[in-house]
Structure 1
Amino acid sequence: MNKLVTMIAAAASLVVASVASTTAVNAGAVLDKVLETKTLTVAVGTDWGKMSFLNDKHELDGYDVQVAKGVAEYLGVKVEFVTPSWDIITSGKWEGRWDITMGQMTPTNARAEKFHFPAIYFYERAVAVVHKGSKASKPSDLDGKVVGVAAGSIFESYATHTFMPNWVGVQPIQYQFKPGQAKTYATTNVAFDDLRLGDGVRLDGVVTAGTIADNAIKSGYPLKVVGDPLFSSPAVIPVLHGDKEFSDKIAAAIKKMKDDGTLSKLSMKWYGADYTTEK
């Protein structure tokens, strides 16, 4: 029996030693691979709107694509894109197939168990939108009114005062108004179709993402955003845990793009507004 216990203990020691050795070998492994292959592999989507899409030349383009190219340029390597589905990306089971992912991921506490978030590169802002002919000039003017929201969205939660954000570093949400009714729609665009009929005809306002509102207004919808954003949620470039050097490089690349104005210019180019700072 003593001999058996000794053998088990010895085997356990070998496993511990093996794990420690593997951890040591993998420290910095991602950055080493990127620099050795001179390639940064980035996961993006082909139909993520202005973030990333296939243009007329059937090439990937968009805000996130150009930010990724900027990161690769900072590292002194070329960029290669892959297009896995979002559920695979968020599973954390990357298995070395890509090094970073774009997609404006919200850094929730649950996701922090799988990923490290070295850099924020975008802030999505929730806004209150009214008809162009509305007398409303601030969100509080929608108190007691009928407000449209996409069903199941964080904007519905905000309108019903049940919003419980759980991203890393979140500040308490301050509700700027309470609708008399939060009317739900399949999509924000359907809500906009009701709002465009006129002030108070079917809706008095809509709560949605600033980028969606800006796009609708540019497309000719007779709408306007009132007041300051209701809240902002950060979007990050996630990486897997275990390579601090690589994370630091990603952080430094985004900081440089912020400091020299590149990030702001890209946001203006693709969204017509600077979404790179929290407001």
Structure 2
Amino acid sequence: MTIVKAASFAVCICATSADAGEVLDRVLTTKTLTVAVGTDWGKMSYLDGSHELAGSDIDLAKAVAERLGVKVQLVTPGWDVITAGKWEGRWDMSLGQMTPTKARGEKFSFPAIYFFSPGSAAVHKESASTELSDLNDKTIGVFANSTFEEYANGTFQPEWIGAKPIEYSFKAGEVKAYASGNINPLDDLRLGDGVRLDAVLWDTLKLQKAIEDGYPLKVLPGKLFTAPASIAVLHGDTEFSDKIAKIVESMRADGTLSQLTVKWYGSDYSVE
């Protein structure tokens, strides 16, 4: 997918509204941009040793706020709360590398794609599995309401521009979906091979971060798919959405977006 296509997709999925300007006016009046992020989403956003939020999405939130000329306020609702779409003014936009699917587009506008995220399967380090096909008929853990849950259930149909048809490398025997706020599927997998789970499907970079943090896991070779990730806002304020789009495009043009991903992941994931 080219950058031009990504930008076009961001525009086509946004909705218009007679209420344009409400969110942007609130942000500029209060001089505060409130952004929903996570506390345990790997290098994307996590609590550091000082119990402060850090990560690539945190840096992005701060950069967007700075270019808006306001301060940033970070809030940490669960992913299931974010994706439900009932924000009720509690935050203005969401980071979290949300995949901009058409289904989600019924609730959200996606002003800017800022990351291209590969997905993988991880197993316990003592697992005999060496390739994706070894996961046939196994118990697979996923985060609820994610594209990985759809993939595990064999129902994932990517709907972003340039998406390639999914080729499934295995068929799960059982899929266990974990809601935000409950035990992490990686914590169940770390108990041992096949104790509660045989594998977890998740973002490759988050799985690698978990391993760096001491989880006794290994990532199986081969990508499940590579998905574009976008900032998400609610429908209703095209002025705000357009403003965010222009800011992120300026960050792409001057190299800031690329530098952020290289800083946190060692490679440029701002392009596919």
TM-score range relative to shorter protein: 0.5 to 0.7
- Aligned pairs for 1:76-95 (under 5 A) are 76-95=69-88
Q: 2:10 — aligned with what? A: none
Q: 1:12 — aligned with what? A: none
1:260 & 1:79 partners in 2: Cα distance?
22
1:163 & 1:38 partners in 2: Cα distance?
43
Q: 1:267 — aligned with what? A: 261
Match of 2:221 among 223, 226, 232: 226
Residue 78 (structure 1) shift: 1.5
Task: State TM-score, norm by structure 1.
Answer: 0.66
Q: 2:3 — aligned with what? A: none
Residue 259 (structure 1) shift: 2.6
1:63 & 1:173 partners in 2: Cα distance?
29
Residue 151 (structure 1) shift: 5.8
Q: Which consecutive residues of structure 1, in runs of 5 or more, have no partner in the other structure? A: 1-21, 196-202
2:135 & 2:231 partners in 1: Cα distance?
39
Match of 1:150 among 126, 134, 141: 141
Residue 65 (structure 1) shift: 1.1
Count of paired positions: 243
Q: 1:44 — aligned with what? A: 37
2:111 & 2:151 partners in 1: Cα distance?
28
- Aligned pairs for 1:1-279 (under 5 A) are 23=18, 26-127=19-120, 142=133, 149-150=140-141, 158=151, 162-165=154-157, 167-169=159-161, 171-175=163-167, 177-178=169-170, 187=185, 208-215=202-209, 218=212, 223=218, 226-227=221-222, 229-278=223-272
Q: Which consecutive residues of structure 2, in runs of 5 or more, have no partner in the other structure? A: 1-16, 179-184
Q: Which has the higher contact order (CA 8 A, sep 6+)?
A: 2
Per-residue displacement from partner, 1:84-117 (whole Å, max 9, x unpaired)? 3434333323232321122222223332122111
Per-residue displacement from partner, 1:98-144 (whole Å, max 9, x unpaired)? 2112222222333212211111122321236698xx9x8x97xx589
Q: Is the 8 A contact 2:46 2:53 kept in 1?
A: yes
- Give the letter for the 2:237 counterpart: D
Change (3 A) 1:243 1:189: same
Task: State TM-score, norm by structure 2.
Answer: 0.68
1:54 & 1:35 partners in 2: Cα distance?
28
- Give the letter for the 1:226 counterpart: P
Q: 1:9 — aligned with what? A: none
2:31 & 2:143 partners in 1: Cα distance?
43
Per-residue displacement from partner, 1:38-78 (whole Å, max 9, x unpaired)? 22121223343333233333322222111111111121221
Q: Is the 8 A contact 2:36 2:95 kept in 1?
A: yes
Change (3 A) 1:124 1:38: same
Q: Partner of 1:150: helix, strand, or coil?
A: strand
| C-alpha RMSD over aligned residues | 3.9
2:39 & 2:159 partners in 1: Cα distance?
26
Q: Partner of 1:232: helix, strand, or coil?
A: strand
Residue 81 (structure 1) shift: 2.0
Identity across the alignment (%): 48
Per-residue displacement from partner, 1:158-198 (whole Å, max 9, x unpaired)? 577x242355447242427457x868789357657867xxx
2:159 & 2:244 partners in 1: Cα distance?
20
- Give the letter for the 1:173 counterpart: P
Change (3 A) 1:215 1:147: farther
Residue 207 (structure 1) shift: 5.8
User: Which of 1 and 2 has greater Rg?
Assistant: 1
